[in-house]
Amino acid sequence: MIVVLKKDVTEAQIQHIVEKAQELGLKTHISRGVERSIIGFIGPEDVLRVTPLEVFPGVESVMPVLSPYKFVSREFKKESSEIRIKDGLTIGGKKIALIAGPCSIEDYDSLLEVAQKVKAAGATMLRGGAFKPRTSPYDFQGLGEEGLKIMNEVGRKTGLATITEVMDTRQVEIIDRYVDVFQIGARNMQNFSLLKEVGKTKKPVVLKRGMSATLKEWLMSAEYIMSEGNPNVIFCERGVRTFETETRNTLDINAIPVIKEKSHLPIIVDPSHAVGRWAWVGSVSKAAVAAGADGLMIEVHACPENAKSDGAQSLLPEKFAGLVDELSAIAKAVGRVV
Amino acid sequence: MIVVLKKDVTEAQIQHIVEKAQELGLKTHISRGVERSIIGFIGPEDVLRVTPLEVFPGVESVMPVLSPYKFVSREFKKESSEIRIKDGLTIGGKKIALIAGPCSIEDYDSLLEVAQKVKAAGATMLRGGAFKPRTSPYDFQGLGEEGLKIMNEVGRKTGLATITEVMDTRQVEIIDRYVDVFQIGARNMQNFSLLKEVGKTKKPVVLKRGMSATLKEWLMSAEYIMSEGNPNVIFCERGVRTFETETRNTLDINAIPVIKEKSHLPIIVDPSHAVGRWAWVGSVSKAAVAAGADGLMIEVHACPENAKSDGAQSLLPEKFAGLVDELSAIAKAVGRVV
Amino acid sequence: MIVVLKKDVTEAQIQHIVEKAQELGLKTHISRGVERSIIGFIGPEDVLRVTPLEVFPGVESVMPVLSPYKFVSREFKKESSEIRIKDGLTIGGKKIALIAGPCSIEDYDSLLEVAQKVKAAGATMLRGGAFKPRTSPYDFQGLGEEGLKIMNEVGRKTGLATITEVMDTRQVEIIDRYVDVFQIGARNMQNFSLLKEVGKTKKPVVLKRGMSATLKEWLMSAEYIMSEGNPNVIFCERGVRTFETETRNTLDINAIPVIKEKSHLPIIVDPSHAVGRWAWVGSVSKAAVAAGADGLMIEVHACPENAKSDGAQSLLPEKFAGLVDELSAIAKAVGRVV
Amino acid sequence: MIVVLKKDVTEAQIQHIVEKAQELGLKTHISRGVERSIIGFIGPEDVLRVTPLEVFPGVESVMPVLSPYKFVSREFKKESSEIRIKDGLTIGGKKIALIAGPCSIEDYDSLLEVAQKVKAAGATMLRGGAFKPRTSPYDFQGLGEEGLKIMNEVGRKTGLATITEVMDTRQVEIIDRYVDVFQIGARNMQNFSLLKEVGKTKKPVVLKRGMSATLKEWLMSAEYIMSEGNPNVIFCERGVRTFETETRNTLDINAIPVIKEKSHLPIIVDPSHAVGRWAWVGSVSKAAVAAGADGLMIEVHACPENAKSDGAQSLLPEKFAGLVDELSAIAKAVGRVV
pLDDT tens per residue, chain A (338 residues)?
Answer: 889 999 899 999 999 999 988 888 888 888 887 788 889 888 777 777 767 888 899 999 888 888 889 999 999 999 999 999 998 999 999 999 999 999 999 999 999 999 999 999 999 999 999 998 888 888 888 999 999 999 999 999 999 999 999 999 999 999 999 999 999 999 999 999 999 999 999 999 999 999 999 999 999 999 999 999 999 999 999 999 999 999 999 999 999 999 999 999 999 999 999 999 999 999 999 999 999 999 999 999 998 888 888 888 999 999 999 999 999 999 999 999 99
- Which ranges constitute the DSSP H helices of A230-277? 255-262, 271-275
Nearest to D250 among A245, A254, A287 (CB): A254
Task: Return the pLDDT at C15.
Answer: 93
Looking at CA atoms only, how far is residue D327 from chain C in angstroms?
A: 24
Residues 128-147 of D with CB under 8 A from C: 133-140
> Which of D31, D35, D241 is nearest residue B243 as measured by Cβ atoms?
D241
CA–CA–CA angle C290, C293, C296 (5° rounding): 105
Query: What is the residue type of A96?
Result: I
- Whether this prediction's pTM lies above 0.80 is answered by yes
Residue D25: per-residue pLDDT:
85
On average, the pLDDT of chain C sits at: 94
CB C268 within 8 A of CB C296: yes
Distances (CA, A) of B287 to B264, B334, C248: 21, 11, 20
> In angstroms, what separates the C-alpha of A289 from chain D's closest C-alpha?
8
Query: Is D252 touching C (CB cutoff 8 A)?
Result: no
* Angle at which helices A317-333 and A108-121 cross, to 10°: 30
* Residue A209 DSSP symbol: P
The pLDDT score that the predictor gives to residue C34 is 77
What is the rounded end-to-end Cα distance, in angstroms, of chain A?
44
pLDDT tens readout for residues B78-106: 999 999 999 899 999 999 999 999 999 99
Q: What is the pLDDT of residue A298?
A: 98
Q: Are B29 and D31 in contact (CB < 8 Å)?
A: yes
- Contact list, B2 vs chain D (CB under 8 Å): 2, 38, 63
**What is the ipTM score, two decimals?**
0.95
Is B211 an interface residue toward C (CB < 8 Å)?
no
Q: Which residues of D touch B36 (CB under 8 A)?
A: 65-66
Q: Which of A65, D296, B270 is nearest to C36 (CA)?
A: A65
**Environment class of B88 (CB within 10 Å of its CB; exposed 0-12, middle 13-18, buried 19+):** exposed
pLDDT tens digit sequence for D326-335 = 999 999 999 9
Nearest to C291 among B240, B286, B332 (CB): B286
Q: How close A115 comes to chain D (CA, Å)?
A: 27
| Interface mutation target, options C20, C190, C277, C314, chain D, most CBs of D under 10 Å | C190
State which residue of chain A sits closest to D244, comparing Cα positions: A214
Sheet holding C2-5, edge to edge: C27-32, C37-42, C2-5, C59-63
Q: Which chain A residues contact residue D251 at CB under 8 A?
A: 252-254
Q: Do C31 and A33 touch (CB under 8 A)?
A: no
- Ramachandran bin of D63, using left for φ above 0, alpha for ψ from -120 to 50, beta for the remaining angles: beta
pLDDT of residue A316: 95
Helix (DSSP H) and strand (DSSP E) numbers for chain C: 11, 14
The residues, ordered by sequence, that sit 6+ positions from D209 with a Cβ below 8 Å of its Cβ are D186, D189, D218, D235, D236, D237, D238, D240, D252, D255
- Partner-chain contact A40 C36, CB within 8 Å: no
Q: What is the predicted pLDDT for the residue at A250?
A: 98
Q: What is the dihedral of CA B260, B265, B270, B273, to 10 degrees?
A: -90
Q: What is the pLDDT of residue A182?
A: 98
CA distance D210 to chain A (A): 12
| B287 to C246: CB separation less than 8 angstroms, yes or no | no
- Confidence class for position D126, pLDDT limits 50, 70, 90: very high
pLDDT of A188 reads 96
A4 closest CA partner among C38, D248, B302: C38
Whether A7 has its CB under 8 Å from any CB of chain C: the answer is: yes
Cα D138 to Cα C68, C193, C221, D141, D142, distances in angstroms: 9, 14, 12, 8, 12
**Inter-chain contact C68–D138, Cβ cutoff 8 Å?**
yes
Cα(C230)–Cα(D143) distance, rounded to whole angstroms? 25
Give the pLDDT confidence score for residue A136 in this predicted structure: 86
Q: Which of A24, A190, A316 to mutate to test the interface with B (most CBs of B within 10 A)?
A: A190
Contacts of D241 in chain C (CB under 8 A): 212
Statement: residue D265 has pLDDT above 90: yes
Angle at the Cα of B317 (from B312 to B319), degrees rounded to 5? 75
Q: How confident is the model at residue B279 (pLDDT cuts 50, 70, 90)?
A: very high
CB atoms within 10 A of CB A229: 11
- Residues C77-120: tens digit of each pLDDT: 999 999 999 989 999 999 999 999 999 999 999 999 999 999 99
pLDDT digits (tens, 9 = 90+) for C178-235: 999 999 999 999 999 999 999 999 999 999 999 999 999 999 999 999 999 999 999 9
Give me the mean pLDDT over the D71-89 stretch: 95
Residue in B with minimal Cα distance to D27: B33
The set of chains that have 3 or more CB pairs under 8 A with A is: B, C, D
Closest approach of chain B CAs to the CA of C54, in angstroms?
21
Average pLDDT over chain B, rounded to an integer: 94
pLDDT of residue A55: 87
For residue B320, give how far its alpha carbon lies from the nearest alpha carbon of chain D (Å).
Answer: 31
Question: Contact B2/D35, CB-based, under 8 Å?
Answer: no
Distant-in-sequence, close-in-space partners of B40: CB < 8 Å, separation ≥ 6: B1, B2, B28, B29, B30, B31, D31, D33, D38
D55 Cα to chain B: minimum distance (Å):
16
- Answer whether residue B46 shows pLDDT above 80: no
Q: β-pairing, C161-165 with C181-184?
A: parallel
Query: Is residue A259 less than 8 Å (CB to CB) from chain D?
Result: no
Asked if residues C221 and C207 have their Cβ atoms less than 8 Å apart, the reply is: yes
Q: Does C277 touch chain D (CB under 8 A)?
A: yes
